[in-house]
């Protein structure tokens, strides 16, 4: 078998560019062919002739000279209807993908002309690839929404009535205080709510804009280039790979094994001849291909859906919080009803207004304030959170399934080692020319990547997957490959892209000079070697691949893997017939060479995985590499260690082939899944979830993760600015290219959860005490010591500052020394109920003693002191709730991380002084003397030793089984 192509074989010279008359004639013919489909608005056709100096006849024969006329006259509505109705008969009648491309002045292989004028014209004619954002609501719009709350409207009515009655009974000078204070409360609630909502809306809009601006690969003027999704235009040829989201509506031009995840009915196979339609937003599950864009922006199916779709997605913590507030609110309503009945019987009407402490409004405002500030550190710390629920989920994550390439590694592959036969040549000059030519073919034609040479002086522009880019770069730099000459010399009959199941790619090519047909294989060394019966040496001699030589080559491959190199093998065979039976036969291959690719680990990965392990979060590597390569990378990343005797390393097919019961037994100990195929990671995620884990999937390039992303509880995407996002999933945290942001997301998730608990404990204490302290005197003496204005002050103003004090506490490293939060753990833990009961009992006892015996003991009206002690107890109790498990309430309070906490505590105290001493008439409280202030502070300070004593009482909390996952209760 002659495996060598003679080095002196002349390359067929391209024909000279056609003259201008021929160009004009071709353009006129192209326009006339459109006449029966497209209606003309004029009786003539304007032709613009462009002369492309130095280009081949492919340029001369292109239809770019007719781009302006064709694009201007295309009936865009018919193309939109073609896709919307998915009419295959109409598609075939228009000439298939090539025919539709012609009508859009595009080319199935070369794409659109792509110059600035062409892109601008297409955007003007067909629109831009962006859905119009809903009109951004102004600050006053948020104020209007806040004031539309039914409860606030009722409160406004009450304040108006109170103002009118007060002025009538007490005159203007003394009768306006109660009504004005209610108006002030409504103003504070609506203003603070509007400010927080406006800030959240702006941040959400910014995140949405940044995440939507991803990058896709398009072909323009025969050149692959990456552009923003917003710059994709009708007529563009878009390259699709597994893991991509389809950026616009279109039809498939070429593809192999392309399957997309349609919402209904699910995974669908897309073919150029049958069912070629692709809708914007669907995920590519498998395969690769190129599509022609036929509709963008609001004209797409996704754009139409977005115009009529709303996606209310309240965070789970907020839903759980609403449950608590609703329960306590109902209790308050019931108590208020009883008190009002008793007061009515005593002929005291109107005293029941102080019974309802506005729990719902205060908690909602505090939660909004806290979450708004809690999100900011995550945005600054190399991560973007799309939904708060994703951050909340991170507090409960117990397992992370991490893709190796692009997640644990830098995704910057390069060829580190090269073998031909049993030799390691120093350069291409040490290899026979025939072997070099075959290697050029294997690298340059058996690929989905491309090489573009702008000119002789500029470096080549190489596109494709990281593996393809590394091999193409090596072929150009080390083998002297000229991609343009190579493609002129050979016709590519078929390309079967790399598949995670087969672990190899294949191309069938024909030598244009002598008609010889070759099939090239490229892929995992062990897979390709299994089909080889011959190999070539550096002199170009073909030799039989015996047992000894095979063992030697397998040792070379294993040695590369042990050093963390991905070993790729090149092989080929001559094909006498192009029938599928002969092409698909993987036997009888001749090995051309072995290449070792190096992809260094991210420098921050090892420390990050060690931090995850300490926090009870298991990091599991999932990779397509063989076991030696995967283990070397896992050791370098800190996922495995030499003393890890219980760790399991297994290949994906072996794991998936096991019975589910055996998979469940193994899944906790699994450290590395090698030789992972598309779908294997999904099975791993599902088994982990069945075992009780909360699973995050961390993906880099995302080429085989589309299924696993949908199965995960949360997705962590290693996205550098401008990189493409793998499909749409429920909850995404974008790590902005750094794996240690995983640790930051876990820490912040736990911090947010703890902050919610602190806030809930604060409000439960405030309102339980208020209900009891007002109810008991109301039914015994007909008096309510805490007025509506005072309760509004505590719930809204003091509560808002309390939430800010909590939210500005920086996440401590101590959060990573505890196991994860159990997803099913109650928001109010047993420890919280213990502390709440102790504080509530203490405060109720002190306040009722002041109410009943204050005048006798202190010789003054105790109402002002009841209000003051009540507020000061809540302020001082903030120190107790900072560290719910620590007995020392002041631990770490003087560190730099607590500066803002102390600032807000000081702000609460200052505002309370102003409320009592300056705005006492509005609050219904008299001014206090210095001695009375001292008594109030002393009484409130007793809350500290009470909290410390309560924490000596042991409590138990329900935990998840440690055999399932480490979980914090």
Active-site positions read 403
Q: Please, what is the end-to-end C-alpha distance for the chain in angstroms?
A: 71
Element (H, E) at 865: helix 863-882
d(CA 771, CA 476): 79
Cβ contact 963:905 at 8 Å: no
d(CA 681, CA 683) in angstroms, rounded, equals 5
Concatenate the DSSP letters of all residues of 399-433 into one string: EEEEEIIIIIB----EEEEEEBTTB--SSGGGS-H
Which sign, positive or negative, has the C-alpha torsion 893, 895, 898, 900? positive
Alpha helices in 34-75 (DSSP H): 57-60, 67-73
Token duo for residue 822: 């159990």
920: β partners? none
Question: What span, in angstroms and rounded, lies between the C-alpha atoms of 448 and 728?
Answer: 24
Residues 73, 40: contact at Cβ < 8 Å?
A: yes
Residue ranges in 563-702 assigned as alpha helix (H):
580-583, 605-614, 627-637, 652-656, 660-666, 680-690
Retrieve residue 283's tokens. 């995920």
- Which stretches does DSSP call E strand in 168-246? 215-220, 223-228, 237-241
CA dist 372 and 756 (Å) reads: 13
* Helical spans, DSSP H, in 43-138: 57-60, 67-73, 76-85, 88-93, 96-103, 116-126
DSSP code of residue 576: S
Rounded to whole angstroms, the Cα distance separating 851 from 864 reads 10
The strand pair at 714-717 and 237-241 is best described as: unpaired
Is the bond leading into 265 cis (omega within 30 degrees of zero)?
Answer: yes
Distance of alpha carbon 422 from alpha carbon 546, whole angstroms = 13
Cβ atoms within 10 Å, residue 505: 22
Residue 135, φ and ψ in degrees, nearest 5: -55, 125
Q: How far apart are CA 462 and CA 775, in angstroms?
A: 77
Which candidate, 556, 534, 553, 531, places its Cα nearest to that of 543? 534
Question: Residue 395: which of 964, 960, 820, 813 has the closest Cα?
Answer: 820
* Closest alpha carbon to 633 in 485, 625, 231: 625
Distance of alpha carbon 397 from alpha carbon 515, whole angstroms: 59
User: In degrees, to the nearest 5, what angle opens at C-alpha 672 toward C-alphas 650 and 283?
Assistant: 100
Whose tokens are 């009470």? That residue is 946
φ and ψ at 498, to 5 degrees?
-55, 135
DSSP 813: G
In whole angstroms, what is the distance from residue 329 CA to residue 486 CA?
77
Structure tokens at 586: 């993987």
């Amino acid at each position: 078998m002659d495996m060598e192509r003679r080095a002196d074989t002349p390359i067929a010279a391209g024909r000279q560019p056609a003259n201008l008359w021929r160009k004009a004639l071709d353009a006129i013919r192209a326009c006339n062919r459109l006449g029966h489909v497209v209606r003309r608005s004029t009786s003539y056709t304007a032709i613009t002739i462009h002369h492309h100096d130095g280009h081949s006849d492919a340029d001369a024969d292109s239809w770019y000279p007719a781009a302006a006329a064709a694009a201007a006259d295309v009936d865009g509505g018919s193309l939109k209807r073609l896709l919307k109705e998915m009419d295959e008969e109409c598609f075939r009648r228009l000439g298939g993908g090539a025919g539709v491309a012609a009508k859009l002045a595009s080319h199935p292989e070369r794409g659109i002309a792509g110059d600035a004028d062409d892109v601008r014209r297409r955007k003007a004619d067909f629109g831009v690839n962006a859905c119009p954002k809903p009109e951004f609501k102004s600050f006053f719009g948020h104020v209007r929404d806040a004031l539309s709350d039914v409860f606030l409207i009722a409160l406004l009515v009450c304040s108006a009535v109170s103002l009118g009655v007060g002025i009538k009974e007490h005159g203007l000078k003394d009768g306006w205080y109660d009504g004005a204070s209610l108006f002030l409360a409504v103003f504070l609630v609506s203003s603070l709510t509007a400010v927080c909502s406006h800030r959240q809306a702006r941040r959400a809009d910014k995140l949405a804009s940044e995440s939507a601006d991803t990058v896709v690969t398009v072909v323009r003027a025969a050149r692959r280039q990456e552009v923003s999704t917003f710059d994709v235009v009708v007529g563009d040829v878009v390259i699709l790979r597994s893991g991509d989201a389809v950026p616009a509506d279109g039809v498939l031009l070429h593809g192999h094994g392309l399957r997309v995840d349609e919402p209904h009915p699910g995974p669908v196979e897309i073919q150029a001849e049958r069912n070629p339609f692709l809708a914007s937003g669907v995920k590519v599950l498998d395969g690769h291909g190129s599509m022609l864009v036929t509709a963008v922006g609001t004209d797409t199916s996704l754009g139409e859906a977005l115009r009529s779709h709303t996606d209310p997605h309240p965070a789970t913590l907020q839903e759980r919080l609403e449950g608590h507030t609703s329960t306590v609110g109902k209790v308050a309503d019931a108590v208020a009803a009883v008190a009002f009945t008793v007061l009515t019987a005593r002929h005291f009407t109107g005293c029941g207004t102080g019974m309802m402490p506005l729990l719902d409004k205060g908690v909602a405002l505090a939660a909004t304030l806290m979450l708004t500030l809690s999100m900011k550190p995550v945005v600054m710390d190399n991560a973007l959170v799309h939904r708060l629920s994703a951050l909340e989920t991170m507090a409960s994550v117990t397992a992370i399934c991490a893709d190796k390439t692009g997640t644990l590694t830098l995704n910057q592959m390069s060829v580190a080692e090269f073998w031909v036969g049993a030799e390691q040549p120093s350069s291409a000059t040490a290899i026979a020319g025939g072997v070099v030519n075959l290697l050029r073919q294997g690298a340059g034609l058996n690929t989905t990547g491309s090489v573009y040479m702008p000119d002789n002086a500029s470096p080549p522009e190489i596109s494709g997957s990281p593996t393809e880019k590394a091999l193409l770069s090596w072929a150009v730099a080390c083998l002297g490959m000229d991609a343009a000459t190579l493609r002129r010399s050979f016709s590519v009959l078929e390309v079967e892209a790399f598949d995670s199941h087969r672990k190899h790619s294949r191309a069938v090519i024909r030598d244009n000079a002598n008609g010889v047909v070759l099939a090239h294989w490229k892929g995992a060394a062990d897979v390709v070697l299994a089909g080889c019966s011959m190999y070539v040496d550096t002199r170009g001699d073909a030799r039989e691949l015996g047992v000894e030589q095979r063992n030697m080559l397998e040792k070379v491959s294993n040695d590369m893997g042990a050093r963390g190199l991905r070993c790729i093998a090149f092989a080929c065979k001559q094909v006498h017939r192009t029938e599928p039976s002969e092409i698909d036969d993987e036997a009888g291959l001749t090995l051309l060479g072995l290449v070792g690719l190096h992809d260094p680990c991210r420098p921050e990965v090892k420390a990050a995985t060690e931090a995850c392990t300490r926090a009870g979060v298991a990091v599991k590597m999932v990779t397509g590499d063989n076991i030696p390569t995967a283990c070397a990378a896992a050791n370098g990343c800190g996922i495995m260690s030499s003393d890890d005797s219980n760790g399991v390393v297994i290949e994906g097919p072996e794991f998936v082939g096991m019975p589910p019961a055996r998979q469940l037994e193994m899944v906790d100990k699994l450290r590395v899944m090698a030789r992972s195929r598309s779908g294997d990671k999904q099975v791993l995620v599902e088994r982990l979830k069945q075992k009780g884990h909360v699973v995050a999937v961390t993906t880099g390039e995302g080429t085989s993760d589309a299924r696993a992303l949908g199965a995960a509880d949360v997705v962590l995407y290693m996205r550098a600015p401008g990189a493409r996002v793998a499909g749409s999933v429920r909850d995404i945290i974008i790590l902005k290219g750094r794996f240690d942001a995983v640790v930051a997301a876990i820490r912040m998730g736990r911090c947010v959860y703890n902050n919610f608990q602190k806030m809930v404990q604060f409000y439960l204490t405030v309102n339980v005490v208020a209900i009891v302290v007002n109810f008991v005197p109301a039914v015994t003496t007909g008096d309510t010591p805490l007025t509506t204005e005072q309760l509004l002050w505590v719930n809204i103003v003091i509560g808002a500052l309390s939430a800010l004090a909590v939210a500005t506490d920086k996440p401590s490293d101590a959060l990573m020394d505890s196991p994860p939060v159990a997803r099913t753990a109650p928001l109010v833990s047993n420890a919280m109920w213990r502390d709440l009961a102790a504080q509530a009992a203490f405060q109720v006892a002190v306040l009722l003693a002041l109410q009943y015996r204050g005048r006798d003991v202190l010789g003054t009206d105790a109402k002002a002191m009841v209000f003051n002690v009540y507020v000061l107890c809540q302020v001082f109790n903030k120190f107790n709730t900072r560290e719910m498990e620590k007995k020392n309430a002041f631990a770490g309070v003087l560190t730099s991380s607590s500066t803002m906490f102390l600032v807000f505590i000081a702000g609460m105290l200052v505002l309370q002084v102003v409320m009592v001493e300056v705005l006492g008439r509005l609050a219904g409280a008299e001014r206090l003397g210095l001695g009375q202030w001292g008594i109030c502070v002393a009484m409130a300070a007793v809350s500290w030793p009470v909290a410390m004593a309560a924490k000596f009482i042991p409590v138990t909390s329900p935990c998840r089984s440690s055999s399932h996952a480490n979980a914090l209760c």
